[in-house]
Amino acid sequence: MKTITLALTGASGLPYALRLLECLLQSGQRVHLVYSQAAQIVAAQELELTLPSRPIEAEKMLREHIGEFSGELRVFGRDDWFAPMASGSNPGDAMVICPCTMGTLAAVAAGLSDDLITRAADVMIKEKRQLILVPREAPFSVIHLENMLKLAQAGAVILPPNPGFYHHPQSVLDLVDFVVARILDHLGVAHTLVQPWGRISGGASRDD
């Protein structure tokens, strides 16, 4: 069982985050979830889902929403400085910010730690643990790109939610699953969402 911090911020793309949470829990991982106030607004807009402000209520709602799973879920408030991921003594195995706003990305790049999300990301970088950022913006400005480069040089993985089409998606969920599969690949979590390249019907062989 891996311990993975999942942070949701106010960019468009909450369907990626909820699907990722579902897959992590159903694969038996321990997930420490934290989300911003803006993420609550976006969840209501994109998913018609109300994310409660109180962690206990959020845990109950998400358990009912996801259904049965073998992993563990804990939800933390964004100002909970006693949360495990707020300290380098207990950072967990990895952290994913999905979706990641440009404001959050900039704060992490600048080393700001004014809430639990940015503090946890700062901890992952300084402890040399895996940090995956899923930035959702278009187009990227020079400032955005410079911040991404800075974080990539610090060891973070920049994984924009850009779905591929070689697996012949038939639905929006197929497109969501493609992105979630790439995140799971980087986390080292097994899944069956998308067949690996080379096993997909119609894909190029190694001899081509």
* DSSP labels, the chain: --EEEEEE-SSS-HHHHHHHHHHHHHTT-EEEEEE-HHHHHHHHHHH-----SSHHHHHHHHHHHH---SSEEEE--TT-TTSGGGSTTS--SEEEEEEE-HHHHHHHHTT--SSHHHHHHHHHHHTT-EEEEEE--SSPPHHHHHHHHHHHHTT-EE-------TT---SHHHHHHHHHHHHHHHHT----SSPPTTSSTTPPPTT-
pTM exceeds 0.85 for this model: yes
Q: Which portions of the chain are predicted below pLDDT 50?
A: 203-208
Of the candidate CATH numbers 3.40.190.10, 3.40.50.10860, 3.40.50.1950, 3.40.50.300, the domain formed by 3-161 belongs to 3.40.50.1950
- Per-residue pLDDT tens over the stretch 46-84: 999 999 999 999 999 999 999 999 999 999 999 999 999
User: What is the per-residue pLDDT for 199?
Assistant: 72
Rounded Cα distance, 60 and 28, in Å: 18
For residue 80, count other CB atoms closer than 10 A to its CB. 15
Give the pLDDT of residue 207.
40
Residues 157 and 186 sit within 8 Å (Cβ to Cβ): yes
pLDDT at position 200, please?
64
pLDDT given for residue 4 in this prediction: 98
What residue segments make up the domains of the chain, in order of their start? 3-161
Please tell me the predicted confidence (pLDDT) of residue 198: 80
- Distance in angstroms (rounded) separating the CA atoms of residues 92 and 47: 29
pLDDT at residue 141 in the model: 98
CA distance 62 to 55: 10
Q: Count Cα atoms within 13 angstroms, Cβ side, for 33.
A: 31
